[in-house]
Structure 1
Amino acid sequence: MKKWAISAIVYLLVVVGGYYVYASVADPVTHDKQKETEHIDTTAPGHKEEVTGSHEEDADSHEDEGAHDESGGDHSGESEVHASIQTENGELVIALNDLQGNPVSDLEVNHEKLLHLIVVSSDLKEYQHLHPETNEPGVFNVIHSLKNGEYKAFIDIKPTGKKYVLEPISFLVGEQHDDHSDNALQVDEELVRKVQGHKATLEPSSFRTNEEIELSFDLAGETPEQYLGALGHVVILDEKGEKYIHVHPLAGNDPVFATQFSEAGIYKIWAEFKFSGKVYVFPYVIEIK
């Protein structure tokens, strides 16, 4: 056989042999890496499991199943929506803008409304639940009946595709008045309220932190009407008017709500129920220990 043919055969054997040596070393490494990716321990600290669907869809499903405790968006991190409020000609005007100053108008309907506005006086004695309407992108208006004084606004919205952190916004109606925020709340000895012929008794299952607490209401035999898609609504603030909780009732035909308090302290509760076409507000002050 000619020398050139023998050289070609030897060269071919060297190339083929080298390939198999490389494959035997490289493939197990690649395969091991693939297995490592597919079998991540989802119980490890800091792991975030990816879930198909949005958090808003999860919240709606949770509401259908039972308790629904809303605090008006995610309270951690920076908000991607800036909300402001001012008074103009007997109206409250709310502006919603993104971080670039553009108006934010893409909002989800939340309990039959695009925006819920909770307004309380600085001493937490006055309370109003309003529903401003919009006629231009990112701007909402509502006529108010607030007396002159200092107030805090809680603008409860669900922007589509944007992170929103709900925080209290202080504003003034009329001229500057004495600040009543130092007026301490007095804890109620009896959780019974009568408002224009209607009676509501609050019966909490517990007054302890870091556990689910059921807020049951005895309405003296009356059955509340549907109000904004629910049997009622409960708004809770701490005594400083900073921590906001909006609670909707558990599934069923009884006015029972469920929530949780992460910190001890004094809280004010406003329960809203609708009778004969009119909404009545029942306020309570409790202490969580």
Structure 2
Amino acid sequence: MSIKKWVSLGSVYLILVILAYSLITGNNPFQSGELDHNHETSEVQKEEETMEHRQHNHHHDHQVESELNTNVTYNDGRVFIKLEADNGNPPKLAKEHEKEMHFIIVSNDLEAYYHLHPDKEQQGSYVVNQELSDGTYQAFVDITPENKAYQVVPKPVQIGTNETDKASLESEDKWTKEIDGKTVTLEDVNAAVEEKVPLVFDTHGEKPDPHLGALGHVVIVDEEVEQYIHVHPASEDTTTFNAHFSKPGKYKIWAEFKFGDNVNVYPFILEVKE
């Protein structure tokens, strides 16, 4: 059979396939713009999924088995953090919001709060200067190891012999806080487990300055000092943070906003319902 006849048969077959598709679906797959629209929609969905992941990848609720061990010690005004992967080697860390490590340490009663960024002495070994009073603390090593599963869990740090009791949080009745003349209001929150909980902060017309690649940072810990959540703004130009809670109870929120050269930390207490 000649090449011309093969081409003709191929064209007829292609037309029959298109006609069959049109009869079954009622659509013309080659209608102008349809394929481009589907492609565009797919790209938008991918971007939304990526943004959703970025907002929630710091939400830690003990559901992932870590492939990384962390050790936190304190000596004479310095905190030391050691990291070791399950293969015995120090892990390589990806930067998140300009830092390889966000180190959160809070006292057991949730009165003291520090958000620190330790320096790397060598691979797997970090240190930061911070004077801490005697008492019991919980440390959260917030990192993103490359190619390793990791779960942030509280690491107890005891300084001196006096142990600090866990907090018994009371419901918040003051939703507007002022620090150094800068006022922030947390708008009404209806928080329930396993739902997206928008935390909307009103900065009263004064836009915060960028801080560590965002307009703010929000760290949340429950009164048992077990649940740890670290979220960033829902977009680049907003002070709304979407949090997820896996357990009911009372939580303390520390909202960090930078105004000028100062990073102010605004504390709030939130109750999460079933």
Same fold (TM over 0.5): yes
The residue aligned with 2:184 is 200
Matched, 1:142 2:152: no
Q: Please, which of 54, 65, 74 is the counterpart of residue 87 of structure 1? A: 74
Cα deviation, residue 229, structure 1: 0.3
Amino acid at match of 2:78: E
Secondary structure at the aligned position of 2:94 is classed as coil
Residue pair 1:269, 1:284 contacting (<8 A) in 2 also: yes
The residue aligned with 1:124 is 110
Change (3 A) 1:169 1:66: closer
- With normalisation by structure 2, the TM-score equals 0.77
Q: Distance in 2 between matches of 1:167 and 1:65?
A: 22
Amino acid at match of 1:141: V
Amino acid at match of 2:117: H
The residue aligned with 2:162 is 177
Q: Distance in 1 between matches of 2:188 and 2:144?
A: 29
Change (3 A) 1:229 1:284: same
Residue pair 1:235, 1:245 contacting (<8 A) in 2 also: yes
Q: Distance in 2 between matches of 1:102 and 1:67?
A: 27
Amino acid at match of 2:71: S
- Can you give the 5+ residue segments of structure 1 that lack an aligned partner in the other structure? 1-57
Q: Distance in 1 between matches of 2:232 and 2:53?
A: 9
Cα deviation, residue 149, structure 1: 1.3
Q: Please, which of 227, 234, 240 is the counterpart of residue 211 of structure 2? A: 227
Secondary structure at the aligned position of 2:79 is classed as strand
Q: Distance in 1 between matches of 2:46 and 2:149?
A: 15
Secondary structure at the aligned position of 1:68 is classed as helix
Matched, 1:152 2:138: yes
The residue aligned with 1:99 is 86
Cα deviation, residue 178, structure 1: 3.4
Deviation string, structure 1 residues 87-106 (Cα, Å, up to 9, x no partner): 123210000012243322x1
Change (3 A) 1:197 1:96: same
Residue pair 1:72, 1:156 contacting (<8 A) in 2 also: no
Change (3 A) 1:282 1:212: same
Amino acid at match of 1:101: G
Q: Distance in 2 between matches of 1:132 and 1:61?
A: 32
Q: Please, which of 240, 246, 262 is the counterpart of residue 246 of structure 2? A: 262
- With normalisation by structure 1, the TM-score equals 0.74
Identity of aligned residues (%): 38
The residue aligned with 1:191 is 175
Change (3 A) 1:72 1:254: closer
Cα deviation, residue 262, structure 1: 2.5
Matched, 1:214 2:198: yes
- Can you give the 5+ residue segments of structure 2 that lack an aligned partner in the other structure? 1-44
Amino acid at match of 2:212: L
Residue pair 1:117, 1:155 contacting (<8 A) in 2 also: yes
Q: Which has the larger radius of gyration?
A: 1
Cα deviation, residue 72, structure 1: 5.8
Runs of 4+ in 1 over 4 A off after TM superposition: 58-67
